[in-house]
Structures are given as C-alpha cells and as structure tokens.
C-alpha cells in the first residue's frame, strides 16, 4: 500500500481517537449528558433539600435522560414518560434491582429485607408471598373489618374534636389511622394510644423513615465509607436495636399464643403477616427457608413502605380540596348520590364515584408521595444511543413525569376534570401501565401495596367529606410547601375544624 495512504489512514485513526477521548467516544461508551461534576462530591451539592425538584430543573437543561455523579456513584435520571417506559418496560430485566445502603445494612437486618433486595430468587420468593398472601384481593377482603373499624375510630376522633370546637391536625390523625391499619394487618396490634409499646412503635417508624431518607455520605463518597461523618450510621444501629427488641416481643407473643393453642384461627381474628410468615418458615417443604431476620425485615419493609405514603396522599388530596372550593363542593354531591346519608361510604362504593377517583389521580400526579423510584442496573445496556453501565443507579423522577408539559395541559393546576373530559386522559390509570402517571412505579418492582393504598385513600377522603363540613383554622392560608424526606408530606401541618353535615350522622364502629 502506498505510504501516503497509510499515513492518511493512521492520521484519520489518530484524529478519531482524539475525538473519542474529547467527546465521549463511540455509542457504546457515550454516557447521557449531564452537568459538570465537582471532584469527590460529583453533583451531590446540586440536590438541595428537595432532590426531585432539583433534578427536574436540571433535566429541563440536559434532557429526559441525564447523567449525574453522586460522589463516586454513577447515576442517571429519567424524567419523561417515554424514557421511563424504556427503563421500566422495554429494558425492565436490567433495571429490576435496587442499590444497597447503610440504612438497609444497619436497619434491615444486614440487607435481609425485600424492598431493597437485589433482583434474584430471594426477592422473587418474598414478592410472591407479598402478592399472594398479604396484599392480594382475598387477604384485603379478610382485613376489610379492620379497615372499617379503624375508619370508624378516625371518624369518632373528628366528631369528638368537632363537638369540643377543637382544631384537628389532619395529617397526624391520618398517619395514626394508616399505622393502625398496617400494624393490625402485620401483627394484630394497634400503634396509636399512649401505652409505651404504641409510643415506641410510632417513634421507631418515624426514625426509620427519617434515616432512610438521609443522604449518608458513606453511601456515596468512597473515602467516607465507614467513617460515619454525619453520625447517621450510629443512629441507624440504635434504631435497629430498639426495633429488634420491639418486634421480638411481638413475635414471642405470637409464638406463645400458638403454643397455648390460641392464635389467628381460634381467636377469630384474621391471620396477620406474622402468622403467615411463621407458617411458611415452619413449612419443611417451602421453596425457601425464611430466617427470623427475614421475617423481621419483611415486617419493617411493610411498615416503612405502607404507612406514611397512603396517609400523606390523603392529606394532599384534602389540602387541594380545601384550596379549591369549586371542586370540594362537588364531592359531597357525588357521595350523597352514591351512598346517601344513612350509612358510611364503603370500598364497594368507590367504583361508582368517578369524580372522587379523578381527584385521587390528580393528587397522585401533582403530589406523588414517593417522588423518585430508585433502581440499579445489573448489566451494561444501551438506551436511546447512550451507554448505561452495570451498577448505575437509576432515579425515575415520578414527580417530574406527572408535570411534564409535553404530556399534560396546564400541568401545575389541580384539575381532576382532565381525567373525565379529556379523551386522552380518561383511560389513564395509576397502576403502572400509563407511563405519564406512575406514582406506584411500574413493572415487576412496582408497588405491591397499590390496591390497599387506593382503598385507604378513596374511602377515607370520601368519609371525611360525607360526614363533615370543613374549614381551615381561623381562615389561615393553605400553603402547599413540600416537606423533606424519603416520602414527601406537607411541610406545614394542615389544621382544620369540622362540623357535622347532618344532625344524624351515619353510624360507624367507635369502640
């Protein structure tokens, strides 16, 4: 070959290599675009107190698939429905794992839980138990009396406050009710009240939620690993010790009850999660041996994932109604039409209340309580021409997707009617099939508690409005500022006064 051709080819190759080094190279190694990173901390400083909001702002500049570095952890942020579909459906199997963290290691029995378990046989087995034994339609029906009774207690609290002219902290009462429902489903005890166990249970749940939501430097900056600069790991170990003491006591009570020939079947109470997990762990033929740690971690999972989320959504929905009298006015009309005033609203009424359903969808669109679904890739992958290496952390910005102006008209306005009158929206549901609205995530790691949560939110909201007229305490303004943490509740409590709508209210269980 002519020397000049060889020189030309070699220079072209050299130029290509230089171009590759400068601009990220071939499609296989081209990472998604993202802002300039600082040494050591990467983009941690950009997250602020509300990471979902900060990431949304950045995605306007860098696009629906953006790369950031959290300390030494390579991460991508997904901010549009189409891109979410790529990750959660088209390439689902590569993004079905979750990252590990100090919180999971120290609080969830050295990663014995299932919410954050790596995608694999253990997660599959626990997910099956969750779906087939705890949160399926039959088991939710079995717990219907529990939910109805807890709703009755909640209504009684509102009535008492109303009679005494007292202000009600709506969010705190809702959290109490949600904790009681989950606590009775998991271990047949309530966790409201003033006895030491109930107080400790509430305190523990709060601390677990707080610590899980913290950005622990050791999880992101390699040189900080095990240094516990912020003191969070020490707090996690302390919470773990106290949770273990608390849950062991309850497990032992269940064992003693069973030994004495009592327990679920003989007491007439529905089988709770502990009964179910014990019977699986005692079954020699079970597909997998469950350890005591697995059982305790699973209970912690259900508490952590299931309590705040439903209560927070109900409080956001109620806040939106209080700010929008036009919408609020329509709800009792619908409830009165479907239910009347003789009895309290029930689960079976919900499918007939399309306006109420639209309100809940609109709330989940604007105020998703879990704004970021977190996953981790298990193998290298190419998406839309970008290279996503194995072990990349993925944040699906559920909150940003719900407000994407390319898909939603007037995205910041609370307009439940969009789900009733707009043809493109009427068929949208929230269960992970429509990627414009995925408050419960999607695919095999999507939320297993969706049905329970929807029952809770619809029935509670409907009952509050069926029985009472509400006004904000002393005509205070209702702000919609978001709090901080893993789940996003209101920053400031919503305090209201209630007046019964009828001289004769429908009856409910109150003792």
Binding mask 360-399 for ligand HEM (x = CB under 6 A): ---------xx--x-x----------------------x-
Phi, psi of 478 (to 5 degrees): -100, 110
Provide the 8-state DSSP code for 362. Answer: H
Q: Note whether 236 and 106 are within 8 A (CB).
A: yes
What length does the chain have? 511
DSSP lists the bridge partners of residue 177 as: none
User: Min. distance of Cβ 88 from ligand HEM in angstroms?
Assistant: 6
Query: Would you count residue 79 as binding ligand HEM (CB under 6 A)?
Result: no
Query: Would you count residue 77 as binding ligand HEM (CB under 6 A)?
Result: no
CA distance linking residue 225 with residue 394, whole number of Å? 21
From the list 71, 81, 270, 306, which residue makes contact with ligand HEM (rule: CB under 6 A)? 306
CB under 6 A: which stretch of 258-266, 279-287, 300-308, 415-423 binds ligand HEM?
300-308
* Among 93, 59, 72, residue whose Cα is nearest residue 378: 93
Query: Would you count residue 317 as binding ligand HEM (CB under 6 A)?
Result: no
The three-class DSSP label of residue 503 is coil
State the CB neighbour count (10 A cutoff) for residue 327: 19
By C-beta, is 447 or 498 nearer to ligand HEM? Answer: 447
User: Min. distance of Cβ 312 from ligand HEM in angstroms?
Assistant: 7
Binding mask 121-160 for ligand HEM (x = CB under 6 A): ------x---------------------------------
By C-beta, is 416 or 439 nearer to ligand HEM? Answer: 439
Which helix (H) or strand (E) segment holds residue 67: the answer is strand 65-70
Query: Would you count residue 305 as binding ligand HEM (CB under 6 A)?
Result: yes
The three-class DSSP label of residue 1 is coil
| Site residue total, ligand HEM (CB under 6 A) | 26
Provide the 8-state DSSP code for 415. Answer: -
From the list 233, 272, 301, 404, which residue makes contact with ligand HEM (rule: CB under 6 A)? 301
By C-beta, is 173 or 233 nearer to ligand HEM? Answer: 173
Kindly tell me the number of DSSP H helices and DSSP E strands found in the chain.
20, 9
By C-beta, is 69 or 458 nearer to ligand HEM? Answer: 458
User: Min. distance of Cβ 217 from ligand HEM in angstroms?
Assistant: 24
Which helix (H) or strand (E) segment holds residue 495: the answer is strand 495-500
* Among 438, 308, 465, 430, residue whose Cα is nearest residue 358: 430
From the list 158, 302, 425, 465, which residue makes contact with ligand HEM (rule: CB under 6 A)? 302
From the list 445, 458, 490, 497, which residue makes contact with ligand HEM (rule: CB under 6 A)? 445
Q: What is the dihedral of CA 324, 330, 336, 338, to 10 degrees?
A: -120
The three-class DSSP label of residue 293 is helix
By C-beta, is 274 or 498 nearer to ligand HEM? Answer: 274
CA angle, residues 207, 112, 484, in degrees to nearest 5: 30
CB under 6 A: which stretch of 12-20, 69-77, 446-454, 500-508 binds ligand HEM?
446-454
Q: Note whether 63 and 410 are within 8 A (CB).
A: no
Query: Would you count residue 313 as binding ligand HEM (CB under 6 A)?
Result: yes
User: Min. distance of Cβ 273 from ligand HEM in angstroms?
Assistant: 9
By C-beta, is 102 or 453 nearer to ligand HEM? Answer: 453
Residues 155-194 that bind ligand HEM (CB under 6 A): 182
Residue 161 C-beta-side C-alpha neighbours within 13 Å: 19
User: Min. distance of Cβ 62 from ligand HEM in angstroms?
Assistant: 22
Residue 356, CA distances (Å) to 34, 121, 328, 348 in order: 40, 40, 10, 13
Binding site for ligand HEM (CB under 6 A): 115, 127, 182, 301-302, 305-306, 309-310, 313, 369-370, 373, 375, 398, 439-442, 445-449, 452-453
């Amino acid at each position: 070959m002519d020397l000049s051709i060889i020189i030309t080819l070699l220079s072209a190759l050299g130029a290509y290599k230089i171009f590759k080094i400068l601009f990220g190279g071939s499609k296989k190694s081209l990472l998604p675009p993202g802002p300039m990173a600082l040494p050591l901390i990467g983009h941690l400083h950009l997250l602020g107190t509300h990471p979902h909001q900060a990431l949304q702002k950045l995605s306007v500049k860098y696009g629906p698939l953006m790369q950031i570095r959290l300390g030494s952890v390579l991460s991508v942020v997904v901010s549009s429905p189409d891109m979410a579909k790529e990750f959660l459906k088209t390439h689902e199997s590569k993004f079905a794992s979750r990252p590990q963290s100090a919180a999971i290691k120290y609080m969830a029995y050295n990663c014995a839980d299932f919410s954050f378990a790596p995608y694999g046989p253990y997660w599959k087995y626990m997910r099956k138990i969750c779906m087939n034994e705890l949160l399926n339609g039959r088991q939710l029906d079995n717990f219907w009396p529990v939910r109805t009774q807890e709703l009755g207690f909640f209504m009684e609290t509102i009535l008492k406050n109303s009679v005494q002219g007292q202000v009600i902290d709506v969010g705190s009462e809702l959290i109490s009710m949600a904790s009681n429902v989950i606590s009775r489903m998991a271990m047949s005890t309530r966790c409201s009240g003033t006895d030491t166990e109930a107080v400790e249970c509430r305190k523990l749940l709060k601390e677990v939620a707080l610590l899980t939501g913290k950005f622990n430097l050791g999880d992101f900056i390699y040189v900080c690993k095990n240094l516990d600069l912020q003191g969070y790991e020490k707090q996690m170990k302390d919470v773990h010790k106290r949770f273990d003491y608390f849950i062991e006591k309850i497990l032992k009570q269940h064992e003693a009850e069973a030994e004495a020939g009592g327990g679920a079947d003989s007491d007439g109470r529905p089988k709770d999660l502990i009964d179910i997990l014990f019977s699986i762990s005692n079954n020699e033929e079970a597909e997998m041996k469950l350890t005591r740690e697995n059982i305790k971690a699973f209970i912690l999972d259900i508490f952590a994932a299931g309590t705040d989320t439903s209560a927070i959504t109900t409080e956001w929905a109620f806040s939106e109604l209080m700010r929008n009298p036009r919408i609020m006015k329509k709800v009792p009309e619908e409830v009165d039409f479907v239910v009347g005033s003789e009895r309290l609203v029930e689960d079976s009424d919900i499918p007939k209340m399309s306006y109420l359903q639209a309100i809940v969808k609109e709330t989940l669109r604007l105020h998703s309580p879990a704004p970021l679904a977190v996953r981790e890739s298990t193998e290298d992958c190419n998406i839309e021409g970008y290279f996503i290496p194995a072990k990349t952390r993925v944040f699906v910005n559920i909150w940003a997707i719900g407000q994407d102006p390319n898909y939603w008209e007037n995205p910041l306005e609370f307009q439940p009617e969009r789900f009733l009158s707009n043809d493109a929206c009427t068929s949208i549901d929230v269960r992970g099939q429509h990627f414009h609205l995925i408050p419960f995530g999607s695919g095999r790691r999507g939320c297993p508690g969706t049905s329970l949560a929807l029952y809770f939110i619809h029935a509670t909201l409907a009952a509050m409005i069926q029985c009472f007229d509400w006004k904000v305490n002393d005509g205070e303004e209702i702000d919609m500022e978001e709090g901080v943490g893993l789940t996003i509740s209101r920053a400031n409590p919503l305090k209201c006064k209630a007046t019964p709508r009828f001289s004769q209210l429908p009856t409910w269980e109150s003792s």
